[in-house]
A = this chain, B = another copy of it.
């Protein structure tokens, strides 16, 4: 490659998931030939995001504040707590469901083979939040994958002696499914038809 800066850029683009050497080269050449302003704006957005985004001290979701917008909104219903795997799930539920409670974002799901156990998901913080803030219902909205189910069972097990209603989104969510794969209207219905978990 005639330019070592170009070589470096191509190499660095490969930190992006699913980007191999060919598409990295295509991306770099496209930006250089047709959209340098866009490339500079992307550079700026990347450094700001990497440096300034942290995890909400209450729910673990990404935010650049101490508390995220949901946790700092006093009009939200503190008696309901919806547990999800990813920040994207919060967005989906916010868009689709009319849900007015709060969230806890695990930032993953139990996956022992990948070294992801309860500690990596921050479950101690979850149980502390549940027990200290008047939560009456915990809605488990982890995916219906094997790991998402295992995560839901683990959490409900730990709450079995607390006087807390535990429900799970099931209706209309296909087995193995991520919330992402479900239409908004289905998600809304899954919320209104949520079931006690585990089933008796």
A residues apposed to B, CB below 8 Å? 1-6, 8-9, 11-13, 15-18, 22-23, 25-33, 35-36, 38-53, 56, 61-64, 68-70, 86-88, 90-91, 107-108, 180
A-B contact pairs, 28 of them (CB 8 A): A2-B62, A2-B91, A3-B53, A3-B62, A3-B63, A3-B64, A5-B48, A5-B49, A6-B49, A6-B53, A9-B45, A11-B45, A12-B46, A15-B31, A15-B38, A15-B42, A16-B16, A16-B42, A25-B88, A29-B87, A31-B49, A32-B49, A39-B49, A40-B47, A40-B50, A43-B50, A44-B47, A46-B46
Residue of B nearest to A52 (CB): B5
Residue of B nearest to A47 (CB): B43
Quick check: B28 and A12 within 8 Å, CB to CB? Answer: no
- A30 and B19 CA atoms in complex are apart in Å by 13
* A1 cross-chain contacts in B, Cβ below 8 A: 87, 91
Q: Which residues of B contact A49 (CB under 8 A)?
A: 3, 5-6, 8-9, 28, 31-32, 39
Measured between beta carbons, the chain B residues less than 8 angstroms from A45 are 5, 8-9, 11-13
- Kindly identify which residue among B8, B22, B23, B41 contacts A15, using a CB–CB cutoff of 8 Å: B41
Is A38 a contact of B17 with CB atoms below 8 Å? no
A64 is contacted by which of B5, B40, B48, B180 (Cβ under 8 Å)? Answer: B5
CB A179 to nearest CB in B, in angstroms, measures 13
Sorted nearest first, the 6 A-B pairs with minimum C-beta distance are A15-B38, A43-B46, A12-B45, A43-B47, A2-B68, A9-B49
Nearest to A69 among chain B residues (CB) is B2
Query: Contacts A9-B48, A33-B107, A43-B47 given; 20 further ones with Cβ under 8 A?
Result: A2-B63, A2-B68, A2-B69, A3-B49, A5-B45, A5-B64, A6-B53, A12-B42, A13-B42, A15-B31, A15-B41, A16-B16, A17-B30, A29-B87, A31-B46, A33-B108, A36-B50, A39-B49, A40-B51, A42-B46
